[in-house]
Structure 1
Amino acid sequence: ALAGAAALGACVGFFQIQAGAVVPRALDPIGFDQPPRWPGYGWAVGHMHRGDVVLTNGYYPTRSVPGYGANLVAPAWPDASLDEDVRNRRLAAVRTYLDPESTRAERAAIVRRYDVRWLLLSRDQRVPSEAVVVGWSPRTGEVLARVGGPASAGGPASAGGPAGPDGPKGALRDGSTPTNAPLIG
């Protein structure tokens, strides 16, 4: 009897604490606290290829976008494979790029240095004149813009042939097509 009471108590305690994560909102008669719903980035990563470099400083994208296979200029957390001085320089480069007072030459140097292909900007950040907006999130107002890469680097895909200025969807900068591209779609 004591074991049954202990098991019942454990179940009630678990349900009381975790109910918001277990019970869907539509079936929630009481109004349990629900875990926060992070925004999805499928709208953005559908344009990216595995290994593309993204420059962003938003809380959610720095923690979500790498899960889709893209790389960040500066990682969200300290990384054992990246010296802390290097990480701090990368964070400073992101701040410099996103600073409204930065010049086009400063931004271009950062794009070249880190091989940046995409900007993921919050609704209050301005899109630089050299960037091309390719998508935005109606939920968060974030903007995805293309920089660097074949369209502006003068590579073979920038000739604007029948496949378009960026080459065929899924093509790498050298013209080859990896088996795992694009990330979504």
Structure 2
Amino acid sequence: MGRLPSDCDKPLTACWSQGKKEKYPYYLCPTKGCPSYRKSIKRDVLEGEFEGVLQSLQPTEGLFALVKAMFRDAWDMRLAQASEASKGLKANVKQLEKQIDQLLDRIIDASNGSVIAAYDKRIAKLEREKVLAEEQLANSGKPRHTFEESFEHARRFYSSPCKVWHNTDMILKKQVLRLAFGALFTYCRNKGLQEPNLAFP
């Protein structure tokens, strides 16, 4: 969660302290030789300071405009990639159809039963490949949501990072840290939370 810049600048670790009736969560520095070695910091104190910073984040409309422009660029790039993929699949389907037609012509001219059986087997395989390619083609180049619908999800993320922090899993929590802050948080036992550079202007 944090570091101790005035002591050893090493990551903290989490632990539990056993009280008379229950366990209490703490953070502490596990680095030997550090002035704060094994000196505990209450989890509620450290995380409470962090959540206070998170709640204070107020993204500007300028940031939303920038994010939307970046989102549009990424959206257009993905659509272009999907279009190229569709062209490749269409070419693949045509090639498979051509191979099937050629094998059908050979069957007509063939008289050997084993050769005909081999052609039939090959045609069946190509037909399966064609069906798969057609299914992929049907599903390619069609986003599940419109640009506006997709961007709205991103907008909600930026507009309420604290809410995202409280209601998501660890993966999204890491995204909040990466998107909202320009560096890792540090924490000094005697000075409290040291804020990194904010990604939000």
Q: TM-score, normalised by structure 2?
A: 0.20
| Structure having the higher Rg | 2
Q: Which has the higher contact order (CA 8 A, sep 6+)?
A: 2
